[in-house]
Amino acid sequence: MRIMRLTSLAGVLLALLAPLAGAAVPAAPSVQIASSAMLVLDASIHRREIVLHITRTAGAVPVEGAGNVSAAIDGHPVPLAAQGNAYVLDTRDVDGGAHTLQVIVAHDGIHEVLSAAVTLPKRPSRLALLEQHGYGAWWVLNIVVMLLAARLIMRRKKPPASRS
């Protein structure tokens, strides 16, 4: 019964501490970062991705199709996924800071390269997250683990019942 209480307490504490580890970074609004005579490139930078919207200047019709668009950051290809009329660039492997984004769009029998400077948010390290929130969360987690371990050890080391 006590182990059930301790495990449920541990679960509640971990649920309370989980938001501290993955503190959300607010996403930037979608802004125009590049344009040509035929296309407009809008982007919104999120924590681990960049969401691109490519529209034609005439009529603001979105350019769609997974094979029509490719991208590179600082000359290195980046994974790109089409989602409806948007394209999502995975930036998990790209360091934070200023970079050059190149988007190659195939339309109307031509290939256009739209280039823009983007600044990706710097990702804090795990140690920085602990320092930011103090070491309180770390200590609470350690205490819960030690209580669970002590309870399990005490349960195993009970002396055998003497027979008289």
Contact yes or no for 156/149 (Cβ under 8 A): no
pLDDT tier at 159, thresholds 50, 70, 90: low
Is pLDDT of 16 > 90? no
- Helix 2-21 to helix 136-156 angle, to the nearest 10 degrees? 160
Average pLDDT over residues 158-162: 65
pLDDT tens readout for residues 43-66: 998 878 899 999 998 888 888 776
- 65-86 pLDDT per residue, tens: 767 899 999 999 988 888 888 8
Q: Average pLDDT in the 111-122 region? A: 88
Using the structure block, give the residue that is written with the tokens 């769009």.
105
Give the strand order in the sheet containing 31-35: 31-35, 39-45, 49-56, 86-90, 80-83
At 120-157, the pLDDT tens digits run 887 766 666 666 666 677 778 889 999 999 988 888 76
Answer yes or no: CATH 2.60.40.2450 is held by domain 31-120.
yes
